[in-house]
Structure 1
Amino acid sequence: MAKKGLKRQTTESFADLQNDVLGQYVASGAIDAKDINAVQDISVDKFVEFKDHPFYVIDNEEMAELVASIKDNGVLVPVIARPRDGKFELIAGHRRCHAAKKAGIEKIPAIVKDYSDDEATLAMVDSNIQRENILPSEKAWAYRMKKETLSHQGRKATDPDEVGTDTRDKISDTDSGATVDRYIRLTYLNKDLLKLVDEKKLSLLSGVSISYMTKNQQKIVKKTMDDESLSPSAPQAEQMLKLAKSIKDDTKFELEILKLFRKKHVNRSYKMTSKEVSRYFPDDFDDEKIKSTIEELLTKWSKEKGYYKK
């Protein structure tokens, strides 16, 4: 859901907010337009989480804002669910349901549909992937679930418009097939390394290379990163993968990647004149302000690229 829908103060009317989010659900295929008129109030205790739900529900500042908003205004947008063993399995709205419980709300509006397992998975992914802030691990597992569902669903045989297309290109409207594959590879990282990707302490490309290593090799990489207080750049991770493929002995592998981490780089010296630097900054920036800004921007860039060294 768009972040603007979670704030207590907004320029949109409640009706506009409802129409916006429900319109996104219809566009994603999670519900039909006619379902909007079939909203019912259901006890929050009747809802259960979607099995293997890849999107986190975290008690953070945004959740606190959502709880406060629900206390003031109620749950404005219905959750989506399906009947499940006498309960209702959430398809979309896990955060709203959690916030409603914290706010002391007993019942929330819901759209209930009798989805098959495949339909439920696709609706769950498509309705949640539109959220503004999604961690790499969330996107990775969501893409993997959708790809596996599409792969065994046989859509190529039933939908003439999609015959001959690659399954991966149907997974996302915003990411290319190659990018989708990179995210899915992250699901083969161990939990500790995947967490580093979420925390931007390990770049996506470095994570992809490491994901092809065995479980033991990944543990060795993580241990070496901790011991050396370093994160491998994308080129370093590629070199590590080559070592992982050629060296079967874990002890030798650990020694080789340690050498790689400690490898001395060629000394480099860069100089820029004050005139060259000053064109990028306002006239009222002194030398210290310019220096700190350059360091801040370079740190952000190098972390994003996976080059940053502590």
Structure 2
Amino acid sequence: MSYLKGIANRINGVEKQSFTQELDINSLVPSQNNFYGIREIEELAESIKESGLMHNLVVRKLDNGKYEIISGERRYRALKSLGYDKVPCQIKEISDLDAEIMLIQANVEQRELLPTEKMEGIRRLRAIYEQKKASGEQLPKGKIRDLIGADMKLSGVQVGRYQKVDKDLIEPFKEKLDKEEITLTQAHTLSSLTKDEQEIIHEEIKDLNAKEHKEEIETLVEGIKQPVKSELDKQIIDEMYPTVSREVKDEDIIYKFKRALKEFEHPRLIISNDYIKGMFYIKQCSMSKDNMLSISIEAYKESYLGIQVKCFDKVDEISIEIDFGKSVNPKILYKISDGVYIWFKRKIGLFNQNN
């Protein structure tokens, strides 16, 4: 091996189980597992023309005699466009799963990835590590999420945020995230809404220029996380989005109530005032736009209650007398009016129901 090749190998981190060789460019094939976008080939070709190839390609030999590109498909395409016949390659002996891990790691190291590309990388790494674990392979100690984080150069928390966005954010917002029209923080906030709620917001902001209307978009999205208390912010939202459903505003009572109905099960109505003390099992309920709650009481076929909902505030654990001195201690309790509460049981399979 020449002195210059030795230097190149040290720069490129050649390991003992690999070696470097010039290969016919036509013997190289892109990996079928490479889901990353192939961008800016012309710019890369110009850079190679001016400065030469700075890093060798990393490949592995296939059973058909071809070499699969693990790292360097953009360089391969740029070199091909420049008419190269031979390409210096680092040849590795590596399994299918480890080759895909290395491909993902290489793209993380060498490129500025789109958020959706990071999501796909996280998704693939999880599948790979779960497959390795199922086959009995000993993985490094720790959570799979942390292994993925190390590969992706992300913290475990960041991996979790990307997974949440990947799972729950609608595609139009993912496109806006890739285009930097919304931030990852905003995308994570939006992903906590239902698909219908996201569609409503997207319909209102889809034609806005993200740079020109950055403040307005931030005000709307931030209002989902916490109540919009500033009168100026409220005015901005009302002026910009007169047709936006009130459901998307976190301070809105209807929105909070409907969210709670989705998160918890078995709602009960508790009335405890100077005139009535009792607990009623709710069979069905609905709320009108004027915050009038209509409740069908279980065990009473034609019994309905109409209650004006004045608030929807979480109440700390308290003891309420509801039946001749007998008290209950509901932990998931929301006050909706003076002396009127909604008591929820937790979801089956997600929460402990002994509340």
- For structure 2, the residue ranges without an aligned partner over 5 or more in a row are 228-242, 251-355
Match of 1:208 in 2: 188
Residues in 2 aligned to 1:141 and 1:237: alpha-carbon distance in whole angstroms: 27
What one-letter code is carried by the residue in structure 2 that aligns with 1:236?
G
Establish whether residue 231 from structure 1 lines up as the match of residue 217 from structure 2.
yes
What one-letter code is carried by the residue in structure 2 that aligns with 1:33?
K
Residues in 2 aligned to 1:195 and 1:18: alpha-carbon distance in whole angstroms: 40
Match of 1:169 in 2: 146
Partner-residue secondary structure (3-state), 2:206: helix
- For structure 1, the residue ranges without an aligned partner over 5 or more in a row are 1-12, 27-31, 241-252, 261-310
Match of 1:75 in 2: 53
TM-score of the two chains, using structure 1 as the length reference: 0.58
Q: Is the 8 A contact 2:57 2:88 kept in 1?
A: yes
Question: Alpha-carbon deviation of 1:101?
Answer: 1.9
Establish whether residue 41 from structure 1 lines up as the match of residue 20 from structure 2.
no
RMSD: 3.6
What one-letter code is carried by the residue in structure 2 that aligns with 1:55?
Y
What one-letter code is carried by the residue in structure 2 that aligns with 1:235?
E
Residues in 1 aligned to 2:53 and 2:145: alpha-carbon distance in whole angstroms: 35
Residue 37 of structure 2 is aligned with which of 56, 60, 72?
56
Per-residue CA deviation, residues 233-283 of structure 1 (Å, 9 max, x unaligned), is 55334479xxxxxxxxxxxx96235767xxxxxxxxxxxxxxxxxxxxxxx
Indicate the structure (1 or 2) with the bigger Cα radius of gyration: 2
Question: Alpha-carbon deviation of 1:114?
Answer: 4.8
Q: Which has the higher helix share?
A: 1
Aligned in 2, Cα 1:50/1:73: closer, same or farther, shift over 3 Å? farther
Establish whether residue 152 from structure 1 lines up as the match of residue 131 from structure 2.
yes
In the alignment of these two chains, the number of paired residues is: 222
What one-letter code is carried by the residue in structure 2 that aligns with 1:57?
I
Per-residue CA deviation, residues 137-191 of structure 1 (Å, 9 max, x unaligned), is 22222122112211231189643751xx211111233422111111233333344
Q: Which has the higher strand share?
A: 2
Task: Pick which of 189-198 and 208-217 moved more.
Answer: 208-217
What one-letter code is carried by the residue in structure 1 that aligns with 2:100?
T
Aligned in 2, Cα 1:217/1:255: closer, same or farther, shift over 3 Å? closer
Establish whether residue 185 from structure 1 lines up as the match of residue 164 from structure 2.
yes
Residues in 2 aligned to 1:156 and 1:238: alpha-carbon distance in whole angstroms: 42
Q: Is the 8 A contact 1:82 1:112 kept in 2?
A: yes
Match of 1:19 in 2: 10
Residues in 2 aligned to 1:186 and 1:14: alpha-carbon distance in whole angstroms: 45
Aligned in 2, Cα 1:55/1:239: closer, same or farther, shift over 3 Å? farther
What one-letter code is carried by the residue in structure 2 that aligns with 1:39?
Q
Residues in 2 aligned to 1:169 and 1:148: alpha-carbon distance in whole angstroms: 14
Question: Alpha-carbon deviation of 1:67?
Answer: 0.7
Matches within 5 A, 1:109-124: 109-124=88-103
Residue 100 of structure 1 is aligned with which of 79, 98, 121?
79
Q: Is the 8 A contact 2:22 2:86 kept in 1?
A: no
Match of 2:338 in 1: none
Partner-residue secondary structure (3-state), 2:23: strand
Match of 1:126 in 2: 105
Residues in 1 aligned to 2:82 and 2:101: alpha-carbon distance in whole angstroms: 30
Higher relative contact order (CA 8 A, sep 6+): 1
Per-residue CA deviation, residues 57-86 of structure 1 (Å, 9 max, x unaligned), is 212xxx444212323455342212334574
What one-letter code is carried by the residue in structure 2 that aligns with 1:150?
Y
**What is the percent sequence identity of the aligned residues?**
23
Q: Is the 8 A contact 2:56 2:88 kept in 1?
A: yes
What one-letter code is carried by the residue in structure 2 that aligns with 1:105?
Y
Aligned in 2, Cα 1:39/1:232: closer, same or farther, shift over 3 Å? same
Question: Alpha-carbon deviation of 1:212?
Answer: 4.8
